[in-house]
């Protein structure tokens, strides 16, 4: 559950209807704005009709008073909205979804998640998720604190790569502790805008929700807000206008690499949420612009891949490490930039 001006959780009412609950506190500089527009800008994948329906049901509250959709939000208003949807167990229906399993035994499995696949049901994604697929292939999975069977960790919808899934309570507890104690190994490939003076480095700074854009995470340098986050990076290849990095996570915050890279001025290539879907380095000459746009078409998502995953096996205590091949879309863009960089050297 997020604190810091934003909450999303599920609650059951006396009539046993499950609600998705969001809470916001308007900033001190908030100018008057209709509450429906305010919520549209802060809740991912919500529709205007859904907000209007919540208002008609008396489920939008400002300072604990139900309001209509045309209410004007003012500075420091406290806004709460309840969206009703079917009971959560109905969201966790088994669905036949192919899984790319790279390792499996009787207590855990490691799989390679493709880009575009949401890990677990949530607002706007109530079906067709990895978790729905896991429930189809495995009848019984242990449930974590967030009621997500088998899941020890997650990666974003448009990030590809490796995930470990627990099949027993013992494995769930043991693996979760490794992630909490920072003893697991997670390395990502990231293509970012710009070049680096150094060959390797570390990005620190607590990560919390962006106060101006609630769909982004941001870095707070003084650690007064958010949660501590540490990302180590190493330059693998330099292409001039973009750089291929290996990023190793010491912590596992939401959008950690995406937020940390934007903070350093090296936003992920084609990361639309953080502004990486624009030309951030290089010229605006027609040929270069067309080249970059072609790369965007080849990889229509942020250039981030969870390549390496390591942990201690909960039962055998064996040190295990897995490596995932670079997806075709990512590799195609790398090849284009290699050719582009080589062409520039020859000029």
DSSP string computed for 248-315: EESS--TTHHHHHHHHTT-PBTT-GGGTTTS--SS---HHHHHHHHHHHHHS-S--EEEEEEEEE-TT
Helix and strand numbers (H, E) in the chain are 8, 18
From-to residues of CATH 3.10.290.10 in the chain: 6-85
**Pair of tokens at residue 36:** 């429906």
277 catalytically annotated = no
Handedness of CA 27, 29, 32, 37 (dihedral sign): negative
Element (H, E) at 190: strand 185-193
What is the per-residue pLDDT for 213? 77
Taking only the tens of pLDDT, the chain with its 347 residues reads 333 344 444 443 333 334 567 888 898 889 999 999 999 888 877 788 888 888 888 889 999 888 999 999 999 999 988 876 544 444 578 899 999 999 999 999 999 999 999 998 765 667 889 999 999 999 788 887 667 889 999 999 999 999 999 999 999 999 999 999 999 999 999 999 999 999 999 999 999 888 777 778 999 877 667 889 999 999 999 999 999 999 999 999 999 999 999 999 999 999 999 999 999 999 878 899 999 999 999 999 999 999 999 999 999 999 999 999 999 999 999 999 999 988 776 54
Question: What would be the CATH architecture of the domain defined by 6-85?
Answer: Roll (3.10)
What is the per-residue pLDDT for 121? 77
Phi-psi region of 272 (alpha: psi -120 to 50; beta: other; left: phi over 0): alpha
User: Which CATH superfamily groups domain 89-180?
Assistant: Pseudouridine synthase (3.30.2350.10)
**Pair of tokens at residue 49:** 């009709």
**Could you tell me which CATH number the domain at 185-346 has?**
3.30.2350.10
Q: What distance in Å separates the CA atoms of residue 53 and residue 71, rounded to the nearest whole number?
A: 14
What is the per-residue pLDDT for 343? 77
What is the per-residue pLDDT for 48? 83
- 3-state SS assignment for residue 36: helix
From-to residues of CATH 3.30.2350.10 in the chain: 89-180, 185-346
**Residue in 265, 210, 203 with CA at minimum distance from that of residue 233:** 203
Element (H, E) at 113: strand 108-113
**Residue in 88, 38, 81 with CA at minimum distance from that of residue 60:** 81
Task: Considering the candidates 36, 156, 158, 329, report the single residue annotated as catalytic.
Answer: 156
């Amino acid at each position: 559950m997020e604190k810091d001006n934003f909450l999303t959780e599920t609650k059951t009412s006396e009539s046993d209807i499950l609600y998705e609950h969001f809470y916001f506190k308007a900033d001190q500089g908030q100018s008057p704005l209709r509450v429906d527009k305010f919520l549209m800008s802060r809740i991912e994948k919500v529709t205007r009709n859904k907000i209007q329906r919540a208002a008609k049901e008396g489920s939008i509250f400002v300072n604990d008073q139900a309001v209509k959709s045309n209410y004007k939000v003012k500075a420091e208003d406290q806004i709460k909205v309840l969206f009703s949807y079917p009971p959560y167990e109905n969201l966790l229906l088994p669905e036949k979804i192919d899984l790319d399993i790279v390792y499996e035994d009787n207590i855990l499995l490691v799989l390679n998640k493709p880009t575009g696949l949401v890990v677990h049901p949530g607002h706007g994604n109530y079906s067709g998720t990895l978790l729905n697929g896991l429930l189809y292939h495995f009848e019984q999975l242990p449930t974590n604190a967030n009621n997500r069977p088998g899941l020890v960790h997650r990666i974003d919808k448009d990030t590809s790569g490796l995930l470990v899934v627990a099949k027993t309570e013992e494995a769930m507890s043991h693996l979760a502790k490794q992630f909490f104690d920072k003893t697991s190994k997670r390395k990502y490939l990231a293509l970012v805008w710009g070049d680096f003076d150094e060959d390797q480095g570390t990005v620190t700074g607590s990560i919390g929700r962006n106060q101006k854009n609630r769909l982004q995470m941001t870095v707070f340098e003084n650690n007064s807000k958010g949660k501590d986050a540490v990302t180590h990076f190493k330059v693998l290849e330099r292409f001039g206008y973009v750089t291929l990095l290996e990023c190793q996570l010491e912590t596992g915050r939401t959008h950690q690499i995406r937020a940390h890279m934007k903070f350093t001025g090296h936003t992920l290539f084609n990361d639309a949420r953080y502004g990486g879907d624009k030309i951030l380095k290089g010229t605006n000459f027609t040929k270069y612009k067309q080249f970059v746009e072609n790369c965007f078409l080849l990889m229509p998502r942020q250039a981030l891949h969870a390549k390496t995953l390591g942990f201690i096996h909960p039962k055998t205590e064996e040190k295990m490490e897995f490596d995932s091949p670079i997806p075709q879309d990512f590799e195609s863009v790398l090849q284009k930039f290699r050719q582009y960089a080589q062409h520039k050297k020859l000029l």
